[in-house]
Structure 1
């Protein structure tokens, strides 16, 4: 299904079907890495569903969709520059697909926004980062699967190192006046997200 979405948006700019297949294969391989437990194709699909549900609020749908596919293309828990490295690849691949420069620039900015999830003056950016965080507001069982997956991705870290770091992340979200920047996602997920985060905090 996600292949169809990627092929559809790529076809709007590129007529080289072999090239589109090649870029998709790279995306699929990255998100199917056996060391990934949360940042997988399932994450892309859930992210896509959230964007589609909010599509009437989106101004530049193609930019958000391209960003969706490339935002976690590079994911190494041992590094702090995954977003930067993902944007480099995104810029190159989108250029080969004949995507306009302005759209590429917007997509790179969206990818970088997932590094901090800060409030932006750009509405599309807030929708994109909120959709990325939508897992926080899912039912408890789904949230617990997410935290289990994240822990597996950080398996190289002992509990002594992992738990304080994860605790800091959870406390960061809870310290904010609101986790979700858009009214749409705030109404949809804020309350459940805080419940999930509070519950996880007690377990750390």
Structure 2
């Protein structure tokens, strides 16, 4: 998949000029390509876009959801707790007035990727599930994922990181469901729980 082409097509469809689309792609590519990004990078975005393409016909506002996919981790610093809020604010800042778009939905969708809690808006639930699909990968791929996350948090020593990571993972298990849509629960819930339980056992 050509991620740049997918992005520029989206921006053109919602009312951006070609030069603007190119400039915004350059900014986006740069943001997701920082050396500190071992997981929250363009590979993660590509995986989410592939999910989006598979389930686009389930969405009421596909353009808004795809835009949120591209920008949901635009700002990412492992030491900060407001990455999603800052990313949502940035996403809205590039949407000028003549863009035909539900800006509130974009904002709320990006913010929802922080807590990954069930939302009254079903499109947002799909976005959350696209973001969390990594949790249900085969164990070898899941292991690569959590090793990449560890690298992003390398400023923290194990005695701080391990309990924090275990707490975050246990939070997923304490919820009735990890995934928010019936489709993803049916396909991935069991596998994701097994992976998370196995990772927790390695942390404790």
Q: TM-score range by the shorter chain?
A: over 0.9
**Structure 2 contact 125–181 (Cα < 8 Å) conserved:** yes
CA distance in 2, matches of 1:15, 1:91: 14
Q: RMSD in angstroms over aligned alpha carbons?
A: 1.1
CA distance in 2, matches of 1:178, 1:12: 35
- Inter-CA distance 12–140: structure 2 relative to 1 (3 Å threshold): same
Superposed CA deviations along residues 157-191 of structure 1, whole A, max 9, x for unmatched, are 00010001000011111111111111111111111
- State the Cα distance separating 1:41 from its structure 2 match: 0.3
Superposed CA deviations along residues 101-133 of structure 1, whole A, max 9, x for unmatched, are x52221111001111111111110111101111
Question: Would you identify which runs of 4 or more consecutive aligned residues in structure 1 move more than 6 Å?
Answer: none
Q: What does residue range 22-61 of structure 1 map to in structure 2 within 5 Å?
A: 22-61=23-62
Q: Which moved more, 1:4-13 or 1:145-154?
A: 4-13
Q: What does residue range 72-87 of structure 1 map to in structure 2 within 5 Å?
A: 72-87=73-88
Corresponding position of 1:119: 118
Corresponding position of 2:201: 202
- State the Cα distance separating 1:15 from its structure 2 match: 5.0
- State the Cα distance separating 1:50 from its structure 2 match: 1.1
How many residues align? The count is 202
Q: What does residue range 116-155 of structure 1 map to in structure 2 within 5 Å?
A: 116-155=115-154
- State the Cα distance separating 1:99 from its structure 2 match: 2.0
**Structure 2 contact 16–99 (Cα < 8 Å) conserved:** no
Corresponding position of 1:20: 21
Q: Which moved more, 1:125-134 or 1:47-56?
A: 47-56
- Inter-CA distance 62–15: structure 2 relative to 1 (3 Å threshold): closer
Q: TM-score, normalised by structure 2?
A: 0.96
Q: TM-score, normalised by structure 1?
A: 0.96
Q: Does 1:108 align with 2:114?
A: no
Q: Which moved more, 1:127-136 or 1:5-14?
A: 5-14
Q: Show structure 2 runs of 5+ residues with no match.
A: none
CA distance in 2, matches of 1:94, 1:84: 16
